[in-house]
Amino acid sequence: MSIELVDIHKAFGEKKVLQGFSLTIASGQTMSVIGASGSGKSVTLKHIIGLLRPDAGEVWVDGENIARLDQASVYRIRRKVGFVFQFAALFDSMTIAENVAMGLERMEKYSDSEIRARVES
């Protein structure tokens, strides 16, 4: 999966978080992003999976500009991405097994019995 952010601008009210930020990650490449708290690391990652849309700029994931895709297409791309949030490691209203099963259910390539077997293994 290739990722390219081109001249991204993002502000929340008066606070400008990203101002002309660009980044290219080739397919197969591993990259770490580090920075001070509030510097925009999470905002950048959320742009890559389409949780946030840039005020200006383009976000290309596997050759598609995710900022301009409809919801169904964004969901199709998200199914290919793993993402761990800072706080929401688990859905606290569910059991551990339900948490594990949830991601597998959404991949839509396992039957219920296969999901159960994988969760219990």
Partner 1 sequence: MSGPLAGHGRDIVLDSSMHRSLAPVHALGRGALRSVAAVGRAGYLGMDAVRALRKVKLWAPHVVSQMTKVGVESVPIALFIATFTGVVLALQASYTFTGAMPLYFVGVLVGKTMILELGPVLTGLALSGRVGANIAAEIGTMRVTEQIDALEALAYDPVAYLVVPRVLAGAIMFPMVVILANGLGILAGWGTSLALLDMSSAEFLKGLRLFFEPWDVQFSTIKSISFGITVTAVGCSFGFHTSGGAAGVGKATTQAVVISSMIILVLDAFWAATLLQ
Closest separation between CB of residue 88 and partner 1, Å? Answer: 4
101-108, long-range: CB < 8 A, 24+ apart: 106/79, 107/79, 108/79
Taking the least distance from each CB to partner 1, the nearer of 27 and 71 is 71
Among 27, 32, 37, 86, indicate the residue that binds partner 1 (CB under 8 A): 86
Taking the least distance from each CB to partner 1, the nearer of 22 and 73 is 73
Contact 3, 44 (CB under 8 A): no
Three-class secondary structure of residue 97 per DSSP? helix
118 forms part of the interface with partner 1 (CB under 8 A): no
The residues near 102 (Cβ < 8 Å, ≥ 6 apart) are: 91, 94
Binding mask 36-65 for partner 1 (x = CB under 8 A): ----------x--x-x--------------
Among 100, 102, 110, 116, indicate the residue that binds partner 1 (CB under 8 A): 102
Among 93, 111, 113, 121, indicate the residue that binds partner 1 (CB under 8 A): 93
Contact 62, 4 (CB under 8 A): no
